[in-house]
């Protein structure tokens, strides 16, 4: 059952990188902004993330990556989503993802990337704008 009006966001950190301060702060900020947040924490495989996203019927998946593995992880997630027939789920990202890689990520369907120094309000605004209420 879909809860009317309340946005449901999955925040996860794929891979083995341990820098989770950002992901946690974002999860709390989204919660404080009235969204429902499922925080998966670290060490998630792309398949685990996609399965949870589908099971939990989320509106968006936010991936935090600070290891430099974004060019491996994002494509994998996008392919898995497609394979499972999901086409309307927003996938966005945060972390140390250089600008020069944004274009490539956009091409495969990834939404906005938030780098260190981003305001959490920007993320809230972005989700409110992109996800229909």
Interface residues with another protein (CB under 8 A)? Answer: 14-21, 24-25, 28-29, 39, 41-43, 45, 67-69, 72-73, 76, 96, 98-100, 115-117, 119-121
Give the largest CA-CA distance in the chain: 40
Beta bridge partners, 133, equal none
CB-nearer residue toward another protein: 7 or 70: 70
The DSSP letter of residue 122 is H
Token digits for 36?
């429902």
Tell me how far, at minimum, the Cβ of 112 lies from another protein, in Å.
15
User: Least distance in Å: CB of 49 to another protein?
Assistant: 12
- If the CB atoms of residues 8 and 85 are measured against another protein, the closer one turns out to be 8
* CA separation for the pair 33, 54 (Å, rounded): 23
Q: Is residue 9 a contact partner of residue 37, using CB atoms and an 8 Å limit? A: yes
Closer CB to another protein, 85 or 117, in the complex: 117
């Amino acid at each position: 059952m879909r809860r009317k009006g309340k946005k449901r966001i999955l925040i996860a950190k794929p891979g083995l990188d341990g820098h989770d301060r950002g992901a946690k702060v974002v999860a709390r900020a989204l919660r404080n902004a009235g969204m429902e947040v499922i925080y998966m924490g670290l060490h998630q495989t792309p398949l685990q993330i996609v399965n949870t996203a589908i099971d939990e019927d989320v509106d968006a998946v936010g991936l935090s990556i600070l290891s430099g593995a974004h060019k491996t992880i994002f494509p994998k997630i996008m392919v898995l989503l497609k394979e499972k027939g999901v086409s309307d789920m927003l996938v966005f990202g945060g972390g140390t993802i250089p600008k020069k890689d944004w274009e490539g990520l956009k091409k495969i369907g990834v939404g906005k990337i938030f780098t260190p120094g981003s305001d959490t309000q920007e993320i809230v605004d972005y989700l409110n704008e992109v996800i229909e209420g």
